[in-house]
Amino acid sequence: MTGAQASYLKTLCEEAKEPFDENLTKADASRRIDELQEKTGRGKGGECSPRERCIGCSRRT
């Protein structure tokens, strides 16, 4: 997985109280991020969190 994926996935795992697997491939990390976004509600609406840079875009809110 990429550094950005690892960082975001660690955050999602902490929020969801799920274990973090540092050995995921890029594709597996992407799927895991999708799963945990659903669980934590972070992926809903496609909007950025206040004052945070979105993963994959340069938009600031």
Domain count, the chain: 1
Euclidean distance between CA atoms 29 and 32, whole angstroms: 5
Domain hosting 21: range is: 3-46
Residue 7 located in a structural domain: yes
Residue 59 located in a structural domain: no
Establish if 25 belongs to a structural domain.
yes
Backbone angles phi, psi at 14, to 5 degrees: -60, -45
Within a domain: 14: yes
Residue 17 lies in a domain: yes
In a domain, 53, yes or no: no
Does 40 fall in a domain?
Answer: yes
Q: Is the pTM of this model over 0.85?
A: no
pLDDT (tens, 9 = 90+) of the chain, 61 residues, equals 999 999 999 999 999 999 999 999 999 999 999 999 999 888 765 555 554 555 555 544 4
